[in-house]
Amino acid sequence: MKNNFFEKYAGVLVNYSTKVKENDLVLIKLESYLAEPLAKEIYRAVIKNGAHPIVRCSVDGLNEIFLKNANDNQLNYIDPISKLEFNTVDAIISIGAPLNVKALSNVDSSKMAKRSGATRELSQTMLKRAEKGELNWVIADFPTQALAQEAKMSLDEYFEFVEKACYLDLDDPVSKWLEIGKEQKRIAEILNGTKKLHIVGNKTDIVFNVENRKWISCDGLNNFPDGEIFTSPVEDDINGTIYFDFPAIYRGNSANKIQLKIENGKVIEADAETGKDFLISMLDMDEGSRFIGEIAIGTNERVQNVTGNILFDEKIGGSIHMALGASYPETGGKNVSGLHWDIIKNMKENSFIYADEKLIYKDGKFVI
């Protein structure tokens, strides 16, 4: 099963997500050696398409060493090779494969903020080139023992979970993602005409100004798996309270049952059942970290439970998520921060979303 799984997984990433064609320069980035079985199939598919692969595989622990020991000059430095790659390649396929999901738990948050601020140059280059049609990119994960353990599954169970979440158990997963994309684009078009988004639910009553902000349908082109519709709200016009019943995990640390009060776009009160100190430290990371960078609706019905992996968890069908910190320029967002922390809320019971006072979503389902 796994050999076929890797081949099918690679085929979707190469032929659908990044659309690799003859003579493309393709950067394949691996978090660790654990991703080798999938990396080989990605490499094979790229070669078969007549393209030119470059492989970059990191060594476990290097990021921790860097963040704990680097000075400010090093934290702010981006090497010219990375800049050249991001300005030159035609496709980037990034594969997460952690050996330890808690490795950065004890790293100084101010150092992480500085490094995130520095690497933003690369991500902005990638996003701007993608918007111009010069670059295709995708992020995916290889199932590891660390990810399975975090999800409270055996490795075999986690493989099966990933397969189903990505629709790789179907004969033609691409057709399914195209079907999902068509429906999500229909909803995004409706939301693109919306001025105010009003969310009501458990301990939640909040209004987001989304006027003239672009809603984007996510259907497997940049994240795999996928399944969400998102935008960046108007930075200074978000008001109300919101409660997140799912655990919020960020770089190995977590806060649970977060309650936020927001006025004029800024978090002015924050509480959590556990992890409050960590929550406050993230909110105080920099000038932009108390503002809202994203509001999104998860649509993947094959992801139903929190796994501790945000690539999957933010897609939970019947959920929304809101990000503290950096917004997405492609939606019209303007907030800048070293933080982008997606926090997830269950919307399956007594929960409603109104677009300009019209009910569009009830108890985990769109009603439009």
Where do the DSSP E strands lie in the chain? 25-30, 52-57, 91-96, 136-141, 196-201, 204-209, 216-218, 223-224, 228-231, 238-244, 248-250, 253-263, 266-274, 292-298, 319-325, 340-346, 352-355, 358-362, 365-366
φ/ψ of residue 218, rounded to 5: -110, 115
pTM: 0.92
Which two three-digit tokens encode residue 55? 């492989």
End-to-end CA distance of the chain: 39
Task: Report whether 147 contacts 98 (CB < 8 A).
Answer: yes
* Predicted pLDDT at 3: 62
φ/ψ of residue 88, rounded to 5: -120, -40
Q: What is the pLDDT of residues 1-59, one digit of tens each?
A: 566 899 999 999 999 999 999 999 999 999 999 999 999 999 999 999 999 999 999 99
Q: Which CATH number fits domain 2-169: 3.90.1150.10, 2.170.190.11, 3.40.1830.10, 3.40.50.300?
A: 3.40.1830.10
Taking the domains of the chain in order of start, what are their residue ranges? 2-169, 174-366
The candidate with the shortest Cα–Cα distance to 344, out of 245, 274, 199, is: 245
* Predicted pLDDT at 77: 97
* Predicted pLDDT at 155: 97
* Predicted pLDDT at 117: 83
φ/ψ of residue 283, rounded to 5: -65, -30
* Low-confidence stretches of the chain (pLDDT beneath 70): 1-3
